A and B are shown apart, each in its own frame.
Chain A
Amino acid sequence: MLEVENLWAGYDGMAVVRGVSLRVDAGEAVAVLGPNGAGKTTLFRALARLLQPLRGSVRFEGRSLDGVPPHQVVRCGMAYVAAERELFPQLTVLENLELGAYVRPDGVRRRLEAVFDLFPRLAERRAQRAGTLSGGEQQMLAIARALMSEPRLLLLDEPSTGLAPRLVAELYRRLDLLRRRGVTILLAEQQVGAALSLCLRVYVLKNGGVAFEGPSSELRGSAQLRSAYLGGA
């Protein structure tokens, strides 16, 4: 579904992502791991077209994303949940969700119900301003908002940031549910444990390049491998 080939991306002419190639097939859940500064966020921003890549190609469902402006990415069926969440703080939960459906205005009611079903806590707080929600609730809202556009691929950048372990487990349970419902997931994480439980394949980024790619079982199984690549997470 998603094919990234030799992608180079960075800021002010300095490349942070150097020649990354990866592949995500439909129905998969794939994780991109790596320490801070490895280039995970830069990679995702390049995929979501918030950043123009310096070199390389990105293909989504066979179509090249070259020259596609950022607001079209959602239309293509790929939704990105940034690490900063990027919510609209003065708008209510409901209004944020409705804006998530901006590109697909019909069937909003139905999708709202599905999303509230998945995140009942959001349903309780639907009239509350997004800026006043707790960290965990904001994270859920960010994901829910992305789901409102009925994406086929969901990009999540460090979804477990600032969440208590119990909430992280809850979040990943829901992500698994989504995957089983047919949403392909590509996520970046610093917290390895939860990511490995959900994703069958991982890529490990180090200094802007892919240091390891393979089944998560391989990474999980070998403590040495883990400490070498992830610094013993």
Chain B
Amino acid sequence: MGVALDGLVLGLQLALLSVGIVFVYGLGGVLNLAHGQVAVAGGLVTALLLQAGQPPLVGGLGGVLAAGLLALALDRTLLQPAYRRKGEERLLLALILTLGTSFALDGLFTFRFPNLALSLRLDPPSVELGGIRVRTASLAVGGLSLGTFGVLLLFLKGTRFGKAIRCIIQNEAGAWLCGVDVARARSATLFLSGALAGVAAVGQGFFSYLGPDMGPEFTILSLIVAVVGGVRSLVGTFLASLLLGMVNALLSYWVGTYLTWIALLAVAVATLLVRPEGLLAYWP
């Protein structure tokens, strides 16, 4: 049905968010709790550009770029003290720093742009596909997400830099010894994660609406997915995104927002207690 397709598309968007956060964890050893706000920043920039009369493509690209640059800025400034440490200390420090930043950004966005929202309408609003009524937005966002993932995959498998990234995830020290500039790769990864989040935000604008206060929601959702999919597994995270996206859409349709949240959170807790490495974790 239409809801199931919506769920799949939602899953793809969730994947854009979650893959970014897991990427950064694998490469940098830090969990970016301001991830949701980075996405929102992208959406807000797009909204501002559209308001200023720019065509949608420019607005979208601008938003994606802005999100990427914000994440990059975080890496170059705030996360440096964390990078100087190792392991759990690094993670804990980064957690608190990004948590504080998420609050700061949240406050900034809701204070400065309380009424700004990104909401894009497509014409026609829905089409008929094989007898099922499908929202054009779903198709657009689905296509956008898949396209982005395609590019990402090509980048990771095909380029020398992509290879370097994959090896850093497995052994940071080994990567330094092979001559890989780990610090530069980390910054690039953060930029990437931000850009992906920006795409998700723009997609959300097509899908329904993106507001300045949706940062925490995005962060929590991507963390739930990361937990279920396994923080060390990109494939697991991708699969978990699709699964949880579907669950989210179907449950929201049947039982409402709060119970959906409780269900998703409960799945996360269950995963943490039963199989902490992630229910769907798989290391290729």
Which stretch (A20-28, A33-41, A70-78, A207-215) binds chain B? A70-78
Q: What residues on A are CB-neighbors of B284 within 8 Å?
A: 90
Find out whether the CB atom of B173 lies under 8 angstroms from the CB atom of A75: no
Contacting B179 at CB < 8 Å: which of A81, A90, A91, A102? A102
A124 within 8 A of B: no
Contacting B170 at CB < 8 Å: which of A74, A84, A88, A100? A88
Most A-side CB within 10 Å, residue of B170, B175, B179, B182:
B179
Which stretch (B159-167, B202-210, B235-243) binds chain A? B159-167
Task: Give chain A nearest CB distance to B155 CB in angstroms.
Answer: 17
A80 within 8 A of B: yes
Find out whether the CB atom of A102 lies under 8 angstroms from the CB atom of B171: no
Q: Which residue of A has the minimal Cβ distance to B284?
A: A90
Find out whether the CB atom of B171 lies under 8 angstroms from the CB atom of A89: yes
Complex alpha-carbon distance, A71 and B179, angstroms: 4
Q: What residues on B are CB-neighbors of A72 within 8 Å?
A: 179
Chain B contact residues: helix, strand, loop or mixed: helix
Find out whether the CB atom of B183 lies under 8 angstroms from the CB atom of A74: no
Complex alpha-carbon distance, A71 and B175, angstroms: 8
B217 within 8 A of A: no
- Nearest 9 Cβ contacts at the A-B interface: A86-B174, A103-B179, A74-B179, A70-B176, A88-B170, A86-B173, A71-B181, A102-B178, A99-B178
Find out whether the CB atom of A80 lies under 8 angstroms from the CB atom of B177: yes
Binding site for A on B (CB under 8 A): 160, 163-164, 167, 170-171, 173-183, 283-284
Contacting B164 at CB < 8 Å: which of A81, A86, A102? A102
Task: Give chain B nearest CB distance to A43 CB in angstroms.
Answer: 16
Q: Knowing A50-B173, A89-B170, A105-B160 touch, does A69 contact B181 (C-beta < 8 A)?
A: yes
Task: Give chain A nearest CB distance to B128 CB in angstroms.
Answer: 46
Given contacts A69-B181, A71-B179, 13 further A-B contacts (CB under 8 A): A50-B176, A69-B183, A71-B182, A73-B179, A79-B177, A84-B173, A86-B177, A99-B163, A99-B167, A99-B175, A102-B160, A102-B164, A102-B180
Task: Give chain B nearest CB distance to A26 CB in angstroms.
Answer: 22
A31 within 8 A of B: no
Task: Give chain B nearest CB distance to A2 CB in angstroms.
Answer: 17
Contacting A88 at CB < 8 Å: which of B171, B182, B183, B283? B171
A149 within 8 A of B: yes
Find out whether the CB atom of A71 lies under 8 angstroms from the CB atom of B174: no
A87 within 8 A of B: yes
Task: Give chain A nearest CB distance to B131 CB in angstroms.
Answer: 45
Q: What residues on A are CB-neighbors of B175 within 8 Å?
A: 71, 99
Q: What residues on B are CB-neighbors of A88 within 8 Å?
A: 167, 170-171, 174
Task: Give chain A nearest CB distance to B96 CB in angstroms.
Answer: 21
Find out whether the CB atom of A103 lies under 8 angstroms from the CB atom of B183: no
Complex alpha-carbon distance, A80 and B167, angstroms: 17
Task: Give chain B nearest CB distance to A179 CB in angstroms.
Answer: 21
A145 within 8 A of B: yes
Contacting A145 at CB < 8 Å: which of B160, B164, B178, B183? B178
Q: Knowing A71-B182, A102-B164 touch, does A146 contact B177 (C-beta < 8 A)?
A: yes
Complex alpha-carbon distance, A87 and B179, angstroms: 13
A48 within 8 A of B: yes
Find out whether the CB atom of A90 lies under 8 angstroms from the CB atom of B164: no
Q: Which residue of A has the minimal Cβ distance to B185?
A: A71
Complex alpha-carbon distance, A80 and B181, angstroms: 16
A-B contact pairs, 18 of them (CB 8 A): A50-B173, A70-B177, A71-B175, A74-B177, A75-B179, A81-B177, A84-B173, A87-B171, A89-B171, A90-B170, A91-B167, A99-B167, A99-B178, A99-B180, A102-B180, A103-B179, A146-B177, A149-B179
Complex alpha-carbon distance, A84 and B176, angstroms: 14
A82 within 8 A of B: yes
Mask, A43-60, CB within 8 Å of B = 1, is 000001010000000000
Complex alpha-carbon distance, A70 and B181, angstroms: 8
